Amino acid sequence: MKGQPLQPLLRFGIEDADSPVVALAGNPNTGKTTIFNALTGLNQHTGNWPGKTVVQARGKYCYGGQEVILVDLPGTYSLLANSVEEQIARDFIYFGRPDATIVVADATCLERNLNLLLQVVEITPLVILCINLIDEARRKLIKIDFARLAERLGIPVVPASARTGEGLELLKKTVQDMISGKLKPSPKPIIYDGEVEGALHQILPEIKGILGDDATSRWLALRLLEGDETVLEGIQHYLLTDPPARLEEVFV
Amino acid sequence: MLLSQLPVGKTGEVVAITCSGLVRRRLLDLGLVPGTKIRTLRQSPGGDPLAFNIRGAVIALRLDTASHVKIRSLD
């Protein structure tokens, strides 16, 4: 079922990677864990992220005869690895290569949740935006144009209320369609100003030469330009066994 | 005026973030971009940190972090 390399997932403590793996990301207090519990029920397992004192919750659910492994990532505002939690979430989405990533957003303050969404979309196009707490938003008379949002973002958008179970069927179906390849999101790439794009074009061929041509090279190049050292550690830990000396040369 | 000087119950608007690097990135990630309205909600017993309402979420910031945010008072 899985065409992606399995090894990185082992590093995250996931052994049974025959089933598709779906990551659950989101800001703190968006009901991410409520969604996780509603989807997996009692079929979950809690432990730690390997080598970290951060809780890892993993669960399974079945949809249409297909078993899906759901990984609850720590709640973060960002993926720029300022904290252990952010680094875990980022490493899992980038190095773990989940078959889909659900970003849970709070319908009552959607705007502040979209920052994380954009950061996830920069890493992988396989993203579903789940807008949770729509019951509360309705009560506050907040109206959201889900169709227009999906069109502008270029990814599927699923409204939900995890507390009442509303929208969860559609969420599972959307995940299924993404795993099976029926749904191929095409989010618009984020283009930076000329100086950044120029630097990107300089180092991209070098990165592709080391890690292979990959849709996510652009994200990696951006982090290297930012001078993010944690991403180099990640490459060493999850992708390559020998130190990426040439990447460090690229590193500015 | 600095965000660290905004009294409890008062509202301001972000004018600029005056630091760089990770702290700047962090503040931007929390939603503090120029033009954002921000209100001081509470002060902890020692006066540090302060709790703010930023784009619908309650966020606590240390005084030294909040002093990197230049604001304009709206009251």
Pick from A27, A82, A115: which is nearest to B22 by CB? A82
- Note the pLDDT tens digit of each residue in A193-243: 999 999 999 998 888 888 777 768 889 899 888 888 888 888 888 876 555
Does residue A48 or residue A13 have the better pLDDT? Answer: A48
Asked if the interface predicted TM-score (ipTM) of this complex is over 0.90, the answer is no
Let me know: does A108 contact A137? Beta carbons within 8 Å: yes
- Give me the pLDDT at residue A244, please: 53
Percent of chain A whose pLDDT exceeds 90: 58
A positions 179-208 inside 8 Å of B (CB): none
- Note the pLDDT tens digit of each residue in B24-75: 888 998 999 999 999 999 999 988 899 999 998 899 999 999 999 999 999 8
β-strand pairing of A127-132 with A157-159: parallel
Pick from A29, A80, A106: which is nearest to B29 by CB? A80
CA distance A83 to A102: 21
Which residue of chain A is at minimal alpha-carbon distance from B56? A109
- Give me the pLDDT at residue A116, please: 95
H or E element at residue A171: helix A168-179
* pTM of the predicted structure, to 2 decimals: 0.86
Does residue A12 or residue B19 have the better pLDDT? Answer: B19
Banded model confidence at residue A6, pLDDT cuts 50, 70, 90: very low
- Give me the pLDDT at residue A250, please: 58
- Give me the pLDDT at residue A3, please: 38
- Give me the pLDDT at residue A2, please: 36
Q: What is the DSSP string of A79-127?
A: SS-SSHHHHHHHHHHHHS--SEEEEEEEGGGHHHHHHHHHHHHHH-S-E
* Average pLDDT in chain A: 87
Instruction: Reply yes or no on whether the pLDDT at A156 is more than 60.
Output: yes
Instruction: Reply yes or no on whether the pLDDT at A105 is more than 90.
Output: yes
Instruction: Reply yes or no on whether the pLDDT at A187 is more than 60.
Output: yes
Distance from CA of A235 to the nearest CA of B (A): 21
Which residues of chain B lie closer than 8 angstroms to A80, CB-CB? 22, 25, 29
Residues A112, B56: C-beta atoms closer than 8 Å: yes
- Give me the pLDDT at residue A241, please: 57
**Domain coordinates in residue numbering, chain B:** 3-73
Which homologous superfamily does the CATH classification assign to the domain defined by B3-73? Ferrous iron transport protein A (FeoA) (2.30.30.90)
Let me know: does A244 contact A224? Beta carbons within 8 Å: no
- Give me the pLDDT at residue A209, please: 83
Which amino acid appears at position A174 of this protein? T
Which residues of chain A lie closer than 8 angstroms to B54, CB-CB? 112
Sequence-distant contacts of A51-56: CB under 8 A, at least 24 apart: A52/A84, A52/A88, A53/A84, A54/A84, A54/A85, A54/A88, A56/A12, A56/A13
